[in-house]
A = this chain, B = another copy of it.
Amino acid sequence: MVRMKLVLAIVQDKDADSLAKEFIQNDVRATKLATSGGFLRAGNTTFIVGIEDDRVNEVLEIIKKSSHTREQYVSNMNMDAAGTSMLGKPVQVTVGGATVFVLPVEEFKHF
Contact = CB atoms under 8 A, between A and B. Distances in A.
Interface residues of A, number: 47
A36 B36 contact: no
Interface in A22-44: 23-24, 29-40, 44
A104 interface: yes
B101 A4 contact: yes
B8 A6 contact: yes
B39 A111 contact: no
A63 B85 CA distance: 49
A106 B111 contact: no
Interface of A: 4-6, 8, 10, 20, 23-24, 29-40, 44, 46, 48, 50, 56, 60, 63-64, 67-69, 96-111
